């Protein structure tokens, strides 16, 4: 019994030591990053260790003397032999979580908070340095650090704006990520991309679109009954509307936003209130579209860095008040310039996104683009037509919540087979 126990312990130690050694080397790497701040956090059950790390990043990667800011990342360690899922968040990353891809591929994981969001905001933000070029350089620096301890395959991914960020990272640093999986990530070509209007005019059935429009008109024509409910709800939630131009303007912006939100979040035509529905029922459905906080001062403050990017590089969408029979009386800006940082120059670069698209079409290899078929953001999806070795999936009837796990079986199998094939390839 003693001999067997000793042999068991020896074997156990032999198996355990490489894992412990790698865990220590990851931790040592983090600790040795100049100026880094490290905090151990409780890992998910699939991981052996996890850390929240604040890493110094240059405001301007080409001129590092202009100053630095601290960027938050979350690192989850599993094994040195497993791949890495590298999540390029488009916004704040206030918590550690395990992504769908990390579970599917049994991967280590790094979550990167986007510059100018959450804890990754410079003390005195100079908006000139909030660009896709600088953000991609942030990601490249983090990649080069951790590639030293995780030399295997890297899967870059993100959702929505994070999916966009995945595309930009590959565009500027094509040698870094081995596989890219952007979820529901649009590629817009204008501050107000007209493809959004075309989509909203054609998505679904004629009867459903007519019912949406009729519902919007009721919200406008019967505002004397419904607007007090809106004001009461705003008071309960603590919403204020100065940036949008006041509560009346915020109400009208919410009505204009409704068709976009309806298709984005997968609401159902059958649930739209009928013509004889009470004001309370009309408002209850309006509230389910999760629009109001978007136009609140709190919401605009949270998304302000994004709106700057949308108005200068990313592009976005707008509204058509003329379609509503003179009922839109308080909206003054049909784009989102009112939500961008004030007193800051907003000049849109119309060249960068077509350049990104051309790269993705011809050189964006090992991409898997995942979209919801009736998600409004599928209007500006990457539509493959070039030589790149990539695949795209549009879930029939899918919303902005479309993920690999909720794809129909045949699409899910295709995605997983493609992932496994590319993970098994050597460079």
Look-up of token digits 């199998």 = 413
Rounded Cα distance between 422 and 371, Å, is 20
- The pLDDT of residue 25 is 83
Residue 6 has pLDDT above 50, yes or no: no
CATH code linked to domain 2-189+352-424: 3.40.50.1820
pLDDT tens-digit profile of 294-346? Answer: 999 999 999 999 999 999 999 999 999 999 999 999 999 999 999 999 999 99
Check if the beta carbon of residue 50 is closer than 8 Å to that of residue 40: yes
HEC string of the chain equals CHHHHHHHHHHHHHHHHHHHHHHHHHHHHHHHCCCCEEEEECCCCCCCEEEEEEEEEECCCCCHHHCEEEEEEEEEECCCCCCEEEEECCCCCCCCCCCHHHHHHCCEEEEECCCCCCCCCCCCCCHHHCCHHHHHHHHHHHHHHHCCCCCCCEEEEEECHHHHHHHHHHHHCCCCCCEEEEECCCCCCCCCCHHHHHHHHHCCCHHHHHHHHHHHHHHHHCHHHHHHHHHHHHHHHCCCCCCCCCHHHHHHHHHHHHHHHHHHCCCCHHHCCCCCCCHHHHHHHHHHCCCHHHHCHHHHHHHHHHHHHHHHHHCCCCCCHHHHCCCCCCCCCCCCHHHCCCCCCCCCCCCHHHHHHHHHHHHCCCEEEEEECCCHHHHHCCCCCCCCCEEEEEECCCCCCCCHHHCCHHHHHHHHHHHHHHHHCCC
Rounded Cα distance between 228 and 349, Å, is 41
Domain ranges of the chain: 2-189+352-424, 194-339
Average pLDDT over residues 130-155: 97
Place 221 in a pLDDT band, splitting at 50, 70 and 90.
Answer: very high
Lowest mean per-residue pLDDT among 65-69, 266-270, 272-276:
272-276
Which residues on neighbouring strands pair with residue 154, listed in sequence order?
84
Average pLDDT over residues 238-249: 96
What CA–CA distances, in Å, run from 206 to 145, 164, 183, 269, 412?
53, 31, 28, 11, 30
The two three-digit tokens of residue 200, written as one number: 């909203």
For all residues of the chain together, what is the average pLDDT?
Answer: 93
Residue 117 has pLDDT above 70, yes or no: yes
- Strand ranges across the sheet with 390-395: 37-41, 49-58, 68-77, 108-112, 84-88, 154-159, 179-183, 367-372, 390-395
Share of the chain above pLDDT 70, in %: 94
Q: What is the largest CA-CA distance in the chain?
A: 90
Residue 17 has pLDDT above 80, yes or no: no
Phi (first) and psi of residue 183, to 5 degrees: -95, 135
Share of the chain above pLDDT 90, in %: 91
Residue 213 has pLDDT above 50, yes or no: yes
- The pLDDT of residue 24 is 56
Average pLDDT over residues 177-191: 98
Place 22 in a pLDDT band, splitting at 50, 70 and 90.
Answer: low
- The pLDDT of residue 20 is 45
């Amino acid at each position: 019994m003693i001999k067997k126990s000793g042999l068991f312990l020896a074997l156990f130690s032999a198996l355990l030591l490489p894992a412990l050694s790698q865990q220590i080397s990851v931790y040592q790497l983090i600790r040795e990053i100049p100026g880094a701040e490290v905090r151990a956090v409780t890992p998910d059950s699939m991981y052996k260790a996890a850390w929240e790390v604040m890493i110094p990043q240059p405001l301007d990667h080409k001129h590092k003397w202009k100053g630095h800011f601290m960027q938050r990342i979350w690192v989850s360690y599993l094994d040195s032999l497993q791949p890495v899922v590298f999540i390029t968040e488009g916004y704040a990353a206030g918590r550690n979580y395990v992504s769908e891809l990390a579970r599917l591929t049994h991967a280590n994981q790094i979550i990167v908070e986007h510059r100018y969001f959450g804890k990754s905001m410079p003390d005195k933000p100079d908006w000139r340095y909030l660009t896709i070029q600088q953000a991609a350089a942030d990601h490249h620096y983090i990649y080069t650090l951790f590639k030293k301890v995780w030399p295997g395959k890297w899967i870059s991914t993100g959702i929505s704006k994070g999916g966009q960020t995945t595309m930009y990272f590959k565009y500027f640093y094509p040698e870094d990520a081995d596989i890219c999986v952007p979820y529901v990530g649009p590629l817009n070509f204008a501050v107000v991309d007209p493809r959004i209007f075309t989509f909203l005019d054609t998505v679904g059935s004629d009867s459903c679109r007519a019912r949406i429009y009729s519902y919007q008109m009721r919200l406008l024509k019967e505002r004397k009954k419904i607007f007090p409910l809106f004001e009461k709800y705003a008071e309960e939630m603590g919403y204020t509307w100065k940036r949008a131009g006041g509560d009346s303007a915020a109400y009208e912006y919410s009505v204009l936003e409704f068709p976009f939100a309806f298709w984005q979040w997968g609401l159902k035509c059958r649930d739209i209130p009928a013509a004889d529905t009470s004001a309370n029922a009309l408002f209850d459905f309006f509230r389910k579209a999760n629009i109001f906080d978007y136009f609140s001062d709190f919401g605009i403050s949270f998304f302000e860095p994004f709106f700057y990017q949308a108005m200068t590089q990313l592009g976005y969408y707008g509204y058509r008040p003329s379609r509503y029979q003179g009922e839109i009386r308080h909206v003054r800006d049909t784009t989102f310039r009112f939500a961008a940082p004030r007193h800051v120059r907003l000049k849109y670069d119309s060249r960068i996104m077509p350049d990104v698209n051309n790269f993705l079409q011809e050189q964006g290899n090992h991409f898997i683009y995942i979209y919801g078929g009736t998600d409004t953001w599928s209007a500006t999806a990457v539509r493959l037509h070039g030589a790149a070795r990539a695949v795209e999936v549009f879930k029939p009837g899918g919303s902005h919540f479309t993920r690999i796990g909720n794809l129909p079986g045949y699409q899910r199998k295709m995605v997983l087979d493609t992932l496994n094939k590319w993970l098994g390839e050597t460079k």
